[in-house]
Amino acid sequence: MKRLSTSALATLALATTPLVAQDDAQREMGAHVHGISTLELAVEGNALEMNLLSPGMDIVGFEYVAESEADKDAVEAAIRTMLMPENIVTLPEAAECRLTEVLAHLHAGDHDHDDMDEHAEGEAHDHDHDHAEGEDHDHDHEAHAEGEDHDHDHEEHAEGEDHDHDHADGAVHSEFHASYAFDCAHPEELTTVAFPFFAAFENAQEIEAEFVTEAGAGAAEIGRDRPELALQ
């Protein structure tokens, strides 16, 4: 999966640091805020790339390691939703953007649950859906659920400690990561980006976005009440 280029990331860092400085101390301590996702977006030439990171609480309503069948099903359903970018982001039709790569996975503690990292050619969504339902995913989630560290963390949650308190004490928490890459025939038409993400995940309240385009760089807060990012 292609990542945001070094030049784009450098521009993001220089242009947006003053706007997000108040959140840095909390993030440096390993904390994340329920209800708030983060987004990195870059447009370079015809390429549009987005990286979205969301707390597990926002996506599936919990952050402990999924052990019950119901929790595992919720995680798999969320990943399938994220593998279809139209559930997360809406681009201007005039830009004529074609999905080229997509990735969605759950990161819990020190472990990554990789669920898809494929080139999207033609029938991308059908392939993504099939892949998300494959046996390897069940195996990955079950393998983590059976580990001793995860059992210990799960027991701490079961003892009545709330998720915020456990997280502050260094307990395992989960985050969903989704990345999308598009090739846009008319990148100049990428003036706004909408986020059906909020309709797909009712616990999500805000996205803190950092972006860089040919026109410049900036940062913005995208809310449930106005789920749109202006790029120009």
- Using CA atoms, how far apart are residues 225 and 184, in angstroms rounded to an integer? 28
pTM (predicted TM-score): 0.68
4, 13 Cβ separation under 8 angstroms: no
Residue 66, domain member (yes or no): yes
17, two tokens: 């640091």
88, 196 Cβ separation under 8 angstroms: yes
55: pLDDT strictly greater than 70: yes
Average pLDDT, the chain: 74
Of 195, 201, 208, the closest CA to residue 39 belongs to 208
* Residue range of the domain that includes 171: 6-230
Average pLDDT over residues 136-160: 42
52: pLDDT strictly greater than 70: yes
Q: What size, in residues, is the chain?
A: 232
Percent of the chain with pLDDT over 90: 54
Residue 117, domain member (yes or no): yes
Residue 73, domain member (yes or no): yes
Q: Which residue has the higher pLDDT, 58 or 160?
A: 58
Residue 168, domain member (yes or no): yes
Residue 162, domain member (yes or no): yes
9: pLDDT strictly greater than 60: no
231, 95 Cβ separation under 8 angstroms: no
Looking only at the bridges linking them, the beta strands covering 228-230 and 192-194 are antiparallel
Segment 57-100, tens digit of pLDDT: 999 999 999 999 999 999 999 999 999 999 999 999 999 999 99
The number of folded domains in the chain is 1
Residue 146 is predicted with a pLDDT of 44
Average pLDDT over residues 136-157: 42
pLDDT confidence tier of residue 42, bands split at 50, 70 and 90: very high
Average pLDDT over residues 138-159: 42
End-to-end CA distance of the chain: 27
223, 194 Cβ separation under 8 angstroms: no
Residue 1, domain member (yes or no): no
Q: Which residue has the higher pLDDT, 124 or 119?
A: 119
Q: Which residue has the higher pLDDT, 165 or 175?
A: 175
Q: Which residue has the higher pLDDT, 93 or 12?
A: 93
- Using CA atoms, how far apart are residues 164 and 23, in angstroms rounded to an integer? 17
